[in-house]
Amino acid sequence: MDTTHDFKDGLGAVPAHRHANGGGWVADTAHVDNTAYVGDKARVYGEAQIYDKAQIYDKARVCGEAWVYDKARVCGEARVCDKAQIYDKAQIYGEARVCDKAQIYDKAQIYGEALVYDKARVCGEAQIYGEARVYGEALVYDKARVCGEARVYDKARVCGEALVYDKARVCGEAWVYDKARASLSPLYIAGGEYLVTITDTHIQVGCHCHTAEEWRDLTPERCPILESLRGLILDMARIHQARVKR
């Protein structure tokens, strides 16, 4: 007997079936491997593809042309749509959204009310949560965290054990890494040979990232790129980091 289900996407009731492994509704236009799990309250529709041992459960929705595979999990009231891809052991939960051509993989986690979209990538053991937004061609990886109302976008990179939080904005081609903390938008100095990024706790010049105290102790032989700008950069760092302590 033909069955239909209304996925509440504006298309009305469409041909669909209950997935054998979990009982959730799956549109006939979508594909779910027999090895994948779709819980009874979860929904998979559009041309979404669920492979391998992926799990979709609770009130999660996967739609559009999204792919979820390997051992990835989408649960809670999370949404994965458009051409987004979730794979490896990544987890999307809470009320998080992943859409457009975003990719979440490795052991990354997106949760709370976080949103990842455009061509952004989140991987490693990175976590995006709260009301954070990651978009553009941004990349967040390693054990980095982006949370609160922070925004990471354009071609920015956040990695290592960096933490971007509160209302910080990381954009352009900026890098925040190592154990840097950014609660305010980092201060950028561009136009020279090296991009300078000043966060709450660290100063990055080119590929060198240290605290202000560590920069003061560096000799010209160890870091010649800083010598001509040492005073200016350290003064600006002092002013910027003082704002954080208010």
| DSSP code, position 3 | -
pLDDT bracket for residue 182 (50, 70, 90): confident
User: pLDDT at position 101, please?
Assistant: 98
| DSSP code, position 36 | S
- Residue, of 192 and 82, whose pLDDT is higher: 82
- In terms of average pLDDT, the best of 163-167, 177-181, 191-195, 224-228 is 163-167
Q: What's the predicted TM-score (pTM) here?
A: 0.82
Candidates 71, 66, 186; CA nearest to 117 is: 66
pLDDT bracket for residue 200 (50, 70, 90): confident
**CA 81/CA 195 separation, integer angstroms:** 36
71: its two tokens: 């051992």
Long-range contact list for 151-154, CB < 8 A, 24+ apart?
A: 152/120, 153/118, 153/120
Q: Is the pLDDT of residue 202 over 80?
A: no
Q: Is the pLDDT of residue 209 over 70?
A: yes
Angle at 174 between CA 218 and CA 146, to 5 degrees: 105
In whole numbers, what is the pLDDT of the chain averaged over residues? 88
Q: Is the pLDDT of residue 54 over 70?
A: yes
Q: Is the pLDDT of residue 62 over 60?
A: yes
pLDDT in tens, 117-162: 999 999 999 999 999 999 999 999 999 999 999 999 999 999 999 9
Cα 97 to Cα 7, 128, 163: the distances in Å are: 17, 11, 21
User: pLDDT at position 219, please?
Assistant: 64
pLDDT bracket for residue 174 (50, 70, 90): confident
Beta strands in 106-220 (DSSP E): 109-110, 115-116, 121-122, 127-128, 133-134, 139-140, 145-146, 151-152, 157-158, 163-164, 169-170, 175-176, 181-182, 187-189, 196-198, 203-205, 208-210
- The distance between the two most distant Cα atoms of the chain, rounded to a whole number of Å, is 79
User: pLDDT at position 9, please?
Assistant: 94
Say if CB 163 and CB 181 are below 8 A apart.
yes
pLDDT bracket for residue 90 (50, 70, 90): very high
Say if CB 100 and CB 121 are below 8 A apart.
no
User: pLDDT at position 19, please?
Assistant: 97
